Amino acid sequence: QKEVEQNSGPLSVPEGAIASLNCTYSDRGSQSFFWYRQYSGKSPELIMSIYSNGDKEDGRFTAQLNKASQYVSLLIRDSQPSDSATYLCAVSGGSYIPTFGRGTSLIVHP
Amino acid sequence: SQTIHQWPATLVQPVGSPLSLECTVEGTSNPNLYWYRQAAGRGLQLLFYSVGIGQISSEVPQNLSASRPQDRQFILSSKKLLLSDSGFYLCAQISVGSTDTQYFGPGTRLTVL
């Protein structure tokens, strides 16, 4: 059974701070890793994808992957109230059936 | 770029009534298509996926069914809805051959009363 674990939160950070979201996965054969943002009542929106060990930066977002530790994280710099949402981690092993975590709720307070 | 359409956006149905939700995809051909359900406060539950016309795989046994009559059309159906069928239904697609990135449609919010 492939599993993706996330802390459900909520993670509360002040505006301007760095939010750190974490995800662990069980399948060592996983090849692709994704972070989605889901606002309340809306569908998930892809914000980052990462395929190799290390860091990948896109604007205020940085995804970090450590395959040896089976760990992927998302850092959000200069957090804004508009970043308040649920963040879903998804992992794929090339079978085109991603496994999703249950999501971490992020609250950025002014 | 690909676009996923879902309708209706919202639906309120009585227990025991039938259901038909439609998903269509533009901008890609031969996509893998998926139906997910997200119950209130819960994670994504994969219901069905399809790798081609007429090919449906069911992940969870229940009173729902899916069909893929055309390459870019995916339909979720039920003959008799249960209260537990309430939720947010999401259609998703992966364009096989590029990356295995999954994109979601806008969703249908179903309330069964």
Per-residue pLDDT of chain B (113 residues; tens, 9 = 90+): 789 999 999 999 999 999 999 999 998 888 999 999 998 878 899 999 999 988 898 888 689 999 999 999 999 999 999 999 999 999 999 877 667 788 999 999 999 99
CB-based contact B104 A44, cutoff 8 Å:
yes
Count of CA atoms in the C-beta half-sphere (13 A) of A58: 10
Measured torsion, CA atoms of residues B40, B41, B47, B52, in degrees rounded to the nearest 10: 100
CB-based contact A32 B100, cutoff 8 Å:
yes
| Displacement of CA B7 from its chain's centroid (Å) | 10
Distance from CA of A17 to the nearest CA of B (A): 26
CB B66 within 8 A of CB B48: yes
Nearest to B32 among A32, A34, A96 (CB): A96
| Cα angle B43-B49-B54, degrees, rounded to a multiple of 5 | 160
CB B11 within 8 A of CB B109: yes
Which residue of A4, A43, A49, A51 is the best one to mutate when testing the B interface, meaning the one whose CB has the most B CBs within 10 A? Answer: A43
Which residue of B44, B48, B99 is the best one to mutate when testing the A interface, meaning the one whose CB has the most A CBs within 10 A? Answer: B44
Cα→Cα distances B21→A62, A76, B49, B102, Å: 36, 36, 15, 20
CB-based contact A96 B51, cutoff 8 Å:
yes
Distance from CA of A16 to the nearest CA of B (A): 27
| pLDDT number for residue B37 | 95
| pLDDT number for residue B98 | 63
Q: Which residues of B touch A92 (CB under 8 A)?
A: 100, 102
DSSP state, B16?
T
Mean pLDDT for A64-82 is 97
